[in-house]
Amino acid sequence: MAARKARPGDGDDDVTDQDAAASTGADQTSSGRARRNRRAHGEGSVYWREDRKRWVVEIDYGIVNGRRKKVPRYFKTQEEAIEAQREARQAHADGIANLDRRARFGDFLTYWLDEVVTPSERAASTKSNYQDMVKNHVRPGLGKIRVVDLKHEDVQRFLNAKAAAGYSTSTMRTLRTVISQALDEAVITEKASRNVAKTVRVPKARTPRRQVAALNRDDGLRLLAAAKPTRFYAVYVLLAMVGLRRGEVLALRWRDFDQAAGTLRVELQVTRVRGVQGLIVGPTKSRAGQRTIALPGKCIEVLNAHRRHLAAERQAAGKRWKENGLIFPNTVGRHQEPRALNTHLTELSKSAGLRHLGPHALRHTAATMAYALGVDWKQIQAMLGHTMLSTTMDIYVDMVEDVSRDAAAKLDAWFDTADDGDSDGQDDDPDAPDISAEEG
């Protein structure tokens, strides 16, 4: 339809056929009617609809399912229509002009979970967590938005609302991961032109994360002394000294222990996933989790003693024993129920006069003590099996009071030495650190 005079009050009362044609790229016929030039697919054309009293931009999506697809969009002003036309051109340049605009994000999330996440090599606990995040958060919050219409601002507002509701930074980080990985698949399957979640910032949690406090040296020794008569003593030594995860230590096999090399190979983990019957034994939660750990001499000594105790358990179990080559099986040779370890540690810490402890507190202790003893960050990251160094630094290593006091004492000693040197004219302590070039 030819462009006609704009509706009154839209800020462009004097628009003529020629003006409209010029603004939309149309030529004039000999009769003075606007003739729209041929445009590339996805660009759209702009004209006035007298019957609707609206400006129209008609987006051409080219051939879709064997038929040409054109979609009109209506605007009150010519400026809005032209802006929509510009966006259509950009969309075409970005490669989304031919995308399926009907697909909603909630429906695509179902596809992503069923066809991408479930068959993947992700840990069972990770798959279960992703499903929970989609069901309880992402689908209710963003599911009704069409995939091609999902914007950076939508995802940012979604996460900001979660922060306002009191969710932890860890939860919000996982939510962004779920959304971003789903959108990566949407790009691959041509449901979206780009991943708008990649640039979204995870807001700071309103409520600070409750850190798992590490044990100081005295409490750690007290716990291990109380654990020594129990069948889990060697488990607690490994957790507290090399920082294994609960599921990792319970999946260890004797073939993973190289006594001659003094190393332990970590490849598997034992987990219990809600809704899945029985224990799941599979790869560690990340590739970084598959690692070889150098063992302190104390760990080697304890493992050898544990092997002897295990032989006695095997003999006592008789025919009930099912040999699986596990270092820390249950009393009949099968994988130990992870929750049993939590229960035992809770009772043990109480009997030792300590606060309530879980296995992760011992992992945290290993990381913190390694840092206190001067172990490099990257080495601690490798020991713990973290993919990101930031995880090691931000979550696990928290300076215990003993370490802070030790640092304060060393600073006092250094400054006392420096003061003494200034007063008697002697040279500074040759072992003192040079901080003259460090101003921050």
**Amino acid (1-letter code) at residue 345:** L
Give the pLDDT score at 35. Answer: 42
CA-wise closest residue to 198 among 150, 129, 139, 162: 150
pLDDT at 11: 40
Per the CB < 8 A criterion, the answer to whether 286 and 292 are in contact is no
- Residues 172, 165: contact at Cβ < 8 Å? no
What is the structure's pLDDT at 120? 87
Q: How far is CA 116 from CA 65, 306, 411, in A?
A: 25, 42, 54
The residue assigned the tokens 């004219």 is 425
Q: How far apart are CA 331 and CA 325, in angstroms?
A: 13
Query: Helix, strand, or coil here: 102?
Result: coil
**CATH class in words for 217-362:** mainly alpha
Give the model confidence (pLDDT) of 12-33 as tens digits. 433 333 344 444 444 444 433 3
Residues in CB range of 260: below 8 A, 6 or more apart: none
* pLDDT given for residue 26 in this prediction: 42
Q: What pLDDT, on the 0 to 100 scale, is given for residue 214?
A: 84
Give me the pLDDT at residue 412, please: 61
Q: Following DSSP, what letter does each residue of 179-207 receive, concatenated? A: HHHHHHHHHHTTS-SS-TTTTPPPPPPSS
Residues of the chain below pLDDT 50? 1-43, 64, 397, 399-401, 422-440
In the 8-state DSSP scheme, what is residue 66?
A: T
Determine contact, residues 209/170, Cβ cutoff 8 Å.
yes
Find, among 26, 44, 28, the residue nearest to 36 by Cα. Answer: 26
Structure tokens at 26: 């149309």
* CATH dotted code for 105-188: 1.10.150.130
**Neighbouring residues of 303: CB distance < 8 A, sequence distance ≥ 6:** 234, 257, 259, 295, 327
DSSP reduced 3-state for 295: coil
Confidence at residue 140, expressed as pLDDT on a 0 to 100 scale: 96
Token pair for 141: 């919050």
Tell me the β-bridge partners of 293: 264
Q: Where are the domains of the chain?
A: 17-86, 105-188, 217-362, 405-440
